[in-house]
Amino acid sequence: MENRKLGNSDLEVSVVGLGCMSIGTEKNVAKNILDKALDLGINYLDTADLYDQGVNEELIGEVIKSKRQDIVLATKVGNKFEKGKDGWTWDPSKLHIKRSVKESLQRLQTDYIDLYQLHGGTIEDNIDETIEAFEELKQEGHIRQYGISSIRPNVIREYVERSTIVSVMMQYSLLDRRPEELFPFLEENNVSVVARGPLAKGILTERPLHEGPKTLKEKGYLSYTFEELNHVQEALKQAGGVRTLTSNALLYNLAHPVVASVITGASKPEQIADNVKAIQALNLSQDEITAFKELTKAPSYEQHR
């Protein structure tokens, strides 16, 4: 599988990464999913301390400890939770970040985290303090690089201009093209995009829309009504030629040089195999990319400007 560099770092990530939130809490199931991903050439695993209140990190740590050197391991910080209690609070403070990294390292059974990401962020945060915490963790060798997971243009711009982040994780797909307005700015500053949600909750797969969640029929998806989704799904299939809709969706994201990896979730090994197979189709032509853009909406973020 092709690997791409994250920003100006020496981290090279597989163009398909595994979002680990959906691997569950049963050890054998999680192990089968993780092993399948690694066997198929995925080297980029993405988790967060918040997922199942640390259990997700524990499962990953147990499975990968003998293969650690072959993996780009990413986790996230910023949401403070208390084990066994519902909910969490936002805490981007230096104290919380430096305390949390030690707990993540212990759960992941590793001495370092390849990519440590701020799991959100607001313009009201003490951004300088947050950056200072990440920079110190780099100097101390606890993390190799850091990034943020955010869709807020104002927050993204602050971190790009004031820190040494190498990546921004954003929800991005053919049905959510809002991040594209930031691509030139990120590319100019050599910051990579990690795309989550590239299949738009399964809308950009072969699954019929009527088999999707009930809320899809009631509320649609983002700015698309259910009727619009039916139309655009069929139009994208027609415009994509012999490829599957999944292939076209993933290849569209990866056609943008600033996108280093698309993060796909999986609750069973077969889903990983399908996603890896999907990117092995012939790359999109410029005409196809143009056609996909004409068939979909390209709004901008309305908030957090």
- pLDDT one-digit tens code per residue, 243-281: 999 999 999 999 999 999 999 988 899 999 999 999 998
Going by their DSSP bridges, the two strands 192-196 and 259-265 should be labelled as parallel
280 burial (CB, 10 Å; 0-12 / 13-18 / 19+) is exposed
CATH of domain 3-295: 3.20.20.100
Q: How confident is the model at residue 86 (pLDDT cuts 50, 70, 90)?
A: confident
Task: Give the pLDDT of residue 39.
Answer: 94
* Region 153-180 average pLDDT: 97
At residue 143, φ and ψ (nearest 5 deg) are: -135, 155
Kindly tell me if the per-residue pLDDT of 190 is higher than 90: yes
Under 8 Å between Cβ of 237 and 249: no
Q: Which residues contact 17 (CB under 8 A, 6 or more apart)?
A: 42, 44, 45, 46, 74, 194, 261, 262, 263, 264
Predicted structure pTM score: 0.93
Q: Where are the domains of the chain?
A: 3-295
Mark whether 221 is an active-site residue: no
132 burial via Cβ count (<10 Å: 0-12, 13-18, 19+)? middle
First to last CA, the chain: 37
Taking residues 170-189, what's their average pLDDT? 97
pLDDT bin (cut points 50, 70, 90) of residue 1 is confident
Task: Indicate whether 127 pLDDT > 90.
Answer: yes
- Report which of residues 85 and 121 the model is more confident about: 121
Burial readout 194-209 (b: 16 or more C-beta within 10 A, e: otherwise): bbbbbbbeebbbeeee
- Among 51, 146, 172, 224, the active-site one is 51
Mean pLDDT (whole number) for 190-218: 91
The pLDDT of residue 139 is: 97
Per-residue pLDDT reduced to its tens digit, 27-83: 899 999 999 999 999 999 999 988 777 789 999 999 888 889 999 999 999 888 778
What is the per-residue pLDDT across 272-282, written as a single tens digit (0 to 9) for each?
999 999 999 87
pLDDT of residue 87: 77
CB 179 within 8 A of CB 170: yes
CA distances (Å), origin 154, targets 122, 125, 230: 8, 12, 34
Q: How far apart are CA 177 and CA 278, in angstroms?
A: 20
Q: How far lies 282's CA from each of 37, 170, 242, 293, in Å?
A: 21, 25, 10, 19
State how far the Cα of 135 lies from the Cα of 143, in Å rounded to an integer.
9
